[in-house]
Structures are given as C-alpha cells and as structure tokens.
Amino acid sequence: MLKNQPLESMAKKPVSLEIASYFEIDDEKITGDVMHVTDPKDPCEDVPVTIYWKDVERISIETNDSGPYGTDVYWRVADSENAMMLPGDWPDAGKILDIAGDWPDFDHDAVIAAMTCTKVKSFVCWEKK
C-alpha cells in the first residue's frame, strides 16, 4: 500500500484509498478490505489487509465537514506497511477505543477534540515510541 504519495505518482502506481469497505476487530487484529485503485478510469478493487495490534505504529482520528449527513469521523490505524480508515459510525469502530484506550500514552483528549470537530483535521491519539 502507498502512504502519503505525491499526486503525480498516482497515475503510475496502484493507490490505496485506505478506507475500509468491510472490517472486523478482535483482541489480536483488525482485518478488512481496503479500497485500492489501479487505474483512475477503472472501478476500485478491495484488497484484504490485516493489521495486528502488536504492530500498530499510529492511531489517529480523521475528521471532515460532511456531517451530520455523511460520515465525518474515521479512525485511521497504521502499521509500518498498511493503514486502514474505519468509519467512526460503524458499530465495531468503538472497539478501537476499547482495545487501544488502555495503552500507555493514549490521548483521550484527542478523541474528545476529534468528536467535537466539524472541520477537516487529523488528531493523533497514539504513536509508537
């Protein structure tokens, strides 16, 4: 998967949009299908991705201004190879906080700030040190 690639590289390489079209969360891992674009003219394909909690390097919340009618909160969980953006309005998304919320240095204030934000912004909740 590509992360933070310049726009000009999108036409030359497959691009992960990181948004999960399906996911499951358990105490060991997050498994899901991430939308993946191989050609801007063709439809997206879903690529299976698994991120183990033990390998997570960063958890953030991405907000946008599409609420209250659209999904305006996404949890972004990343390891060194992949990232997944999980819609915050999906029932299982709360499991992220249930699992990672007890980790040392997890920033609960960032979660509160994100949940009250109505702008396009990123809130880092936890980063591996």
Tens of pLDDT, residues 8-58: 333 444 445 567 777 899 999 999 888 766 666 666 777 888 999 999 999
Residue corresponding to tokens 């992360």: 3
Give the chain's mean pLDDT.
Answer: 82
pTM of the predicted model as reported, rounded to 2 decimal places: 0.80
The one-letter amino acid code at 110 reads A
Report, as an integer, the average pLDDT of 96-106.
96
Report, as an integer, the average pLDDT of 89-103.
91
Going through the chain in order, the beta strands assigned E by DSSP cover: 15-25, 29-37, 45-52, 58-63, 73-78, 83-87, 121-127
Length of the chain: 129
